[in-house]
Amino acid sequence: MKKILITGALGQIGSELTTFLRKRYGDKKVIASDIKPKLEGTIGQEGPFEHIDCLNAPEIYSAVKKYKIDTVFHLAAILSASGEKNPQLAWKVNINGLYNVLEIAREYQCAVFTPSSIAAFGPSTPKDSTPQETIQRPTTIYGLTKVTGELLCDYYYFKYKVDTRGVRFPGIISYLTLPGGGTTDYAVEIFYQALKYKKYTCFLDKNTSLDMMYIPDALKAAVNLMEADSSKLKHRNAYNITAESFTPAELAQEIKKYIPDFEMKYDIDPMRQAIADSWPNQLDDRAAREDWGWSPDYNLKAMTKDMIEKLKIKLRIA
């Protein structure tokens, strides 16, 4: 990885991945891009930024040529809840955008990291210890695009030798940039509301178990997979990874250790509850552990402690 392009770099994961990669490879080696304009004072100051709509292939071509890109972290996407509100847009961005990136990668021999998701599974998938290879019949448009994306990336590897790699991310918890329209967003919102108002109304049922991961582990996973020995990768697109599975009630309980008068209420959103109910409770990530040494650093306890410390600083709460 000598010259890296990130698409969707202003999103929840991209905003942190940009800084992480710049620290590792150098500011000028990592080109951030997004369809949104960059905001001064946030990312993009310490390195190059390009406006790229991933549906506009010439915009990607021109950045790949201009900066002699050899690796793309393709993060531009529409997430699960936003996808159900506009399935046509989700299909276009998630599939046509990926196709554009893969075609350019084929021509310019770039490696490509594309995240899949727990959403690539559906109600007929085994819910507990969900295997690396199992039934994938998702019922959301987002999930459909994730399965299609996994297969398309495999195809480009086998047919054209494009070095495609990916993980199935669980819900990501972070403090820098708010999540962008997913079903697991409650696990970020709860921290802001708990610190600001000592209460939160959760849109998922208290017993909904989902895989979750703190952002430092997600960044580590993306980079470790891209730096892994190619010959050891049996799955490529995409590896199950998880850090911990918990319910809203369990997260609220952990937050209460720091904010004892925190109150959690529930007002279930049927659309997001149905999405969450269609996803696994907990993935089996042994393939990632065996093939490229995946191992998370943060469990529920460590993540909650760090989130509260970091958000207190961000929100200037004593």
Cα–Cα distance, 187 to 310 (Å, whole number): 15
Residue 9 near residue 15 (C-beta atoms within 8 A): yes
Among 4, 5, 6, 12, binds ligand NAD (CB under 6 A): 12
Among 13, 79, 219, 283, binds ligand SER (CB under 6 A): 79
**Does residue 215 interact with ligand NAD by CB under 6 A?**
no
CB of 16 to ligand SER, least distance (A): 15
Q: Please say which residue, 138 or 179, places its beta carbon nearer to ligand NAD.
A: 179
34 binds, among ligand NAD, ligand SER, none (CB under 5 to 8 A by kind): ligand NAD
**Does residue 280 interact with ligand NAD by CB under 6 A?**
no
Residue that is written with structure tokens 């943060």 in the block: 298
Residue 44 near residue 38 (C-beta atoms within 8 A): yes
Between vectors from CA 308 to CA 169 and to CA 12, what angle results, nearest 5°? Answer: 35
Size of the site for ligand NAD (CB under 6 A): 30
The contacts of residue 65 (CB under 8 Å, 6+ apart) are 108
CB of 78 to ligand SER, least distance (A): 9
Applying CB under 6 A, which part among 52-60, 115-123, 157-165, 230-238 lies near ligand SER? Answer: 115-123
Q: Please say which residue, 7 or 140, places its beta carbon nearer to ligand NAD.
A: 7
Among 166, 171, 248, 296, binds ligand NAD (CB under 6 A): 171
Which residue is catalytic, options 25, 61, 99, 142?
Answer: 142
157 is catalytic: no
Among 8, 122, 138, 296, binds ligand NAD (CB under 6 A): 8
User: Which residues form the catalytic set?
Assistant: 142
* Residues near ligand NAD (CB under 6 A): 7-8, 10-14, 34-36, 52-55, 75-77, 79, 93, 97, 115, 117, 169, 171-172, 179-182, 184
* Residues near ligand SER (CB under 6 A): 79-80, 117-119, 142, 171, 182-184
